DNA sequence: TTGCTCCTCACGTCACGTGAGGTGGC
DNA sequence: TTGCTCCTCACGTCACGTGAGGTGGC
């Protein structure tokens, strides 16, 4: 006696919907034993429940349909199964990390006394910075102003000479709190495109999460107060600041045309300056995570 | 002097792509200050960076476009903002829970000595059971077999009389390990549709994660060995069993026609029996999670 | 003038769910 | 015969990314 199951019975045994079983057929993952050419009805054997279970197990472990198709192709365990498993595990750990990042941000948003800064007419922005390559010069300077300008002038000229200017804003890293204003250790950074041939001194700047004071217009006299506010906000939001402060110059006074800067970076006067402040923060905090 | 930004500049300042800014325009979230009717070029003010920052902050906290549209509608903080925040936080915690479930399953799959059971011709299936309502009768019985059949007969008849039979397989809960086979405390369960009017004794059976031995055909003499294997697998996979074993009767011998069972549940002989074994397991284990 | 920016379609993503409209099977 | 099951389209999901093919701006 042949004991074939109809699609609804198979679906019920497998704990999935009929639509899902049809979809797996369409994808070639789970072909019926027999299809009635008159009615189009799909018929399955009881052994199909095992194949379906293999599929749902892999789906429950977050494998995609195309991954499962590859894994189940020749009916036995492929050599790279354990590779697939461990990279899937890593992908899930990464996803969890992403969610924990979002949770941190939700919690930061929840601090209602600061909500308007993040939300209403937001002046504070949380974002992830990608790692980038930059030509940097680190130095002790007596005070802000002219010495910084001087360093940038030289550095821009050097980068321009090599034709390596990346299409991104230059910035300044304060390796000591800028509120000191005197005897500072700073690093000026000009993003560059990668070029192995060049002798220009270049370093990798790691990516990170940062809290930013969104670009403000006008002179630099405002930065101290803004940095303080930003730091205050970070503390109140329950985040841990991690790493030196940065000042990003989206639009600034450039003295010479031959830096070949894109025009949008060039301010003709102080009122056109456009500056952003950033403080890196970390997502890992007090409680340890395993794995 | 009007200082309008083009879309690319705004995008760069906001740390998003040009496509994203266009998308937010299309969604009505971030309308340009001015659109050139000749060229279609969008122009923005610097203040648009703040609105954009508000949007990216909310996106970073996993709010959807439509949620953000509502939250930002009237330009100030809506009353239900903190409600929105806390339900979003809960949603993220739930998502994390889902991912941790998947991680557990990946780790179970990784136990290669057992892989073929989950994967190759899978006889073991991991799945989530939804909570359900069932008419149940719990009793001490001397031994399996006739007393169980008797209880089911009565219960099926009672459920049929009330017209409450749900379209799902009946099952047996072993409140003690079935391997004892004598003096057992069991509960028979007939899934029912909800009906507040009826006097039929009914209870909620909580949902849970279960490991299943996929439906096997034939007599019940096989169950002991299968339960042992399943339990052994659960241990090897590093899962914690949690809760009493279950035996689900997808197809079984029903003596009377007036139970009004769907025909697919009825076996005409022992070889048509179709039975599934389930052991609940828990996802929370040794290491504690905060929140 | 060249190259960069900007424009508007149109389509793809992922694993199904949700109908619509119709037929088969007991 | 009724009601349940099954069938095949066709479309929606979510927040964009990826071209194609063409034009504007310095």
- Is the CB of B215 less than 7 A from some atom of nucleic acid strand C? no
Report the chain A residue with the minimal C-alpha distance to residue B72.
A120
Q: Evaluate if residue A203 carries a pLDDT over 60.
A: yes
DSSP A100-121: HHHHHHHHHHH-GGGHHHHTTS
Model confidence at B114: pLDDT above 70: no
**CA distance linking residue B263 with residue A124, whole number of Å:** 64
Q: What is the pLDDT of residue A173?
A: 96
pLDDT for B46: 92
Is it the case that residue B279 has pLDDT exceeding 90?
A: yes
Is the shortest CB-to-strand distance from A204 to strand C under 7 Å?
A: no
Read off the pLDDT band of A120 (50, 70, 90): low
Of A71-80, A193-202, B133-142, B206-215, least confident by mean pLDDT is A71-80
The conformation of residue A266, written as its DSSP 8-state character, comes to: B
- For residues B30 and B115, which has the higher predicted lDDT (pLDDT)? B30
> In this prediction, what percent of chain B has a pLDDT beyond 70?
88
- Span B17-26, pLDDT tens digits: 999 999 999 9
pLDDT confidence tier of residue A31, bands split at 50, 70 and 90? very high
Say whether B115 and A77 touch across the interface (CB within 8 A). Answer: yes
Best A86, A114, A119, A239 member to test B by mutation, with max B CBs in 10 Å, is A119
Which chain A residue is nearest to residue B6, measuring alpha carbons? A264
Judged by CB atoms closer than 8 Å, whether chains meet at A109 and B57 is answered as: yes
Lowest mean pLDDT among A211-215, A264-268, B94-98, B194-198: B194-198
pLDDT at B121: 61
Look at B89 and A81 and tell me if their CB atoms are within 8 Å. no
pLDDT for res A287: 42
Using one digit for the tens of pLDDT, what is the confidence trace for B25-37?
Answer: 999 999 999 999 9
Split at pLDDT 50, 70, 90, the class of A288 is: very low
Which carries the bigger pLDDT value, residue B186 or residue B111?
A: B186
Asked if residue B269 has pLDDT above 60, the reply is yes
Whether pLDDT at B210 is above 90 = yes
Whether A60 shows a pLDDT value over 60: the answer reads yes
Q: What pTM, to 2 d.p., does this model score? A: 0.89
- pLDDT at residue A143, rounded to an integer: 86
Residue pair A43/A32 in contact (Cβ under 8 Å)? The answer is: yes
Query: From CA A56, how far away is CA A49, in angstroms rounded?
Result: 10
Quick one: closest CA in A to B53, which residue? A125
The answer to whether the beta carbons of residues A35 and A43 sit under 8 Å apart is: yes
| Helices B81-110/B65-72 angle, 10° precision | 160
pLDDT of B74 > 80? The answer is: no
pLDDT band of residue B3 (cuts 50, 70, 90) is: confident
Residue B128 has pLDDT above 50, yes or no: yes
- Please state which of the ranges A65-69, A244-248, B75-79 shows the lowest mean pLDDT: B75-79
B161, pLDDT greater than 90: no
* Top mean-pLDDT range of A35-49, A103-117, B98-112: A35-49
What are the percentages of helix, strand and coil residues in chain A, rounded to 5? 40, 25, 35
> What are B11's two structure tokens?
């995008």
CB B253 within 8 A of CB B267: yes
Q: 3-state class of B211 per DSSP?
A: strand
- The Å distance, CA of A7 to C1' of D5, is 9
Q: Is the pLDDT of residue B176 over 60?
A: yes
Q: Looking at per-residue confidence, does B139 or A253 come out higher?
A: B139
Chain B residues whose CB is inside 8 A of the A123 CB are: 50, 53
State, as a whole number of angstroms, the distance between the CA of A200 and the C1' of D24: 37
Residue B55 has pLDDT above 70, yes or no: yes
CA A283 to C1' C11 (Å) is: 38
SS3 state at A22: helix
Name which of B50, B103, B274 is nearest A92 (Cβ-Cβ).
B103
Indicate the pLDDT class of residue B270, thresholds 50, 70 and 90: confident
Residue A254: which pLDDT band, with cuts at 50, 70 and 90?
A: confident
Q: Is strand D less than 7 A from the beta carbon of B198?
A: no
**Residue A230 touches partner B, C-beta closer than 8 Å:** no
Average pLDDT over chain B reads 87
pLDDT band at residue B115 under the 50/70/90 scheme = low
pLDDT of residue B290: 37
Which chain B positions have a beta carbon within 8 Å of A125's beta carbon?
Answer: 15, 53, 56-57
Confidence of residue B196 (pLDDT cuts 50, 70, 90): confident
**Cβ-Cβ contacts under 8 Å, A86 against chain B:** 110
A109 in contact with B at a CB cutoff of 8 Å? yes
Residue A7 confidence (pLDDT): 97
Q: In whole angstroms, what is the distance from residue B279 CA to residue B244 CA?
A: 7
Q: How far apart are CA B283 and CA B190, in angstroms?
A: 27
Among A52, A77, A103, most B C-beta atoms within 10 A, so best to mutate, is A103
- Give pLDDT tens digits for B237-257: 889 999 999 999 999 987 666
Confidence of residue A34 (pLDDT cuts 50, 70, 90): very high
Long-range contacts of B142-146 (CB under 8 A, 24+ apart): B142/B182, B142/B183, B143/B181, B143/B182, B143/B183, B143/B184, B144/B178, B144/B181, B144/B184, B144/B220
List the beta bridge partners of residue B42: B35
In percent, how much of chain A has pLDDT > 90?
57
Residue B87 has pLDDT above 90, yes or no: yes
Query: Measuring from the CA of residue B42 to each C1', which nucleotide is nearest?
Result: C6
Query: Taking all residues of chain A, what is their mean pLDDT, rounded to a whole number?
Result: 87
Residue B52 confidence class, pLDDT cut points 50, 70, 90: very high
pLDDT confidence of residue A262: 83
Q: Is the pLDDT of residue A118 over 70?
A: no
Q: How confident is the model at residue B117 (pLDDT cuts 50, 70, 90)?
A: low
């Amino acid at each position: 006696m042949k004991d074939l199951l109809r699609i609804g019975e198979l679906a019920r045994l497998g704990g999935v919907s009929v639509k899902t079983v049809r979809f797996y057929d369409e994808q070639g993952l789970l072909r019926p034993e027999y299809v009635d050419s008159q009615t189009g009805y799909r018929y399955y054997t009881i052994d199909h429940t095992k194949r379906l279970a293999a599929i749902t197990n892999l789906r429950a472990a977050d494998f995609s349909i195309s991954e499962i198709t590859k894994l189940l192709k020749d009916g036995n365990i492929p050599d790279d199964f354990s590779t697939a498993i461990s990279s899937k595990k890593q992908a899930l750990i990464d996803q969890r990390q992403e969610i924990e990042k979002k949770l941190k941000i939700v919690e930061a948003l929840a601090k209602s006394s600061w909500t308007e800064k993040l939300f209403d007419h937001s002046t504070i922005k949380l974002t992830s910075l990608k790692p980038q390559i930059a030509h940097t010069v680190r130095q002790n300077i007596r005070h802000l102003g002219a010495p910084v300008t001087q360093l940038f002038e030289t550095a821009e000229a050097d980068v321009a000479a090599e034709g390596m200017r990346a299409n991104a804003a230059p910035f300044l890293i304060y390796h000591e709190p800028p509120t000191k204003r005197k005897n500072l250790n700073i690093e000026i950074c000009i993003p560059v495109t990668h070029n192995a041939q060049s002798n220009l001194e270049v370093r990798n700047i790691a990516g990170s999460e940062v809290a930013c004071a969104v670009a403000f217009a006008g002179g630099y006299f405002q930065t101290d107060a803004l940095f303080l506010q930003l730091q205050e906000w970070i503390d109140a939001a329950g985040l841990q600041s991690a790493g030196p402060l940065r000042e990003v110059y989206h639009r600034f006074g450039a003295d010479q045309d031959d830096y070949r800067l894109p025009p949008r970076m060039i301010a003709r006067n102080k009122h056109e300056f456009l500056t952003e402040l950033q403080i890196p923060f970390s997502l890992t905090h007090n409680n340890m995570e395993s794995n």
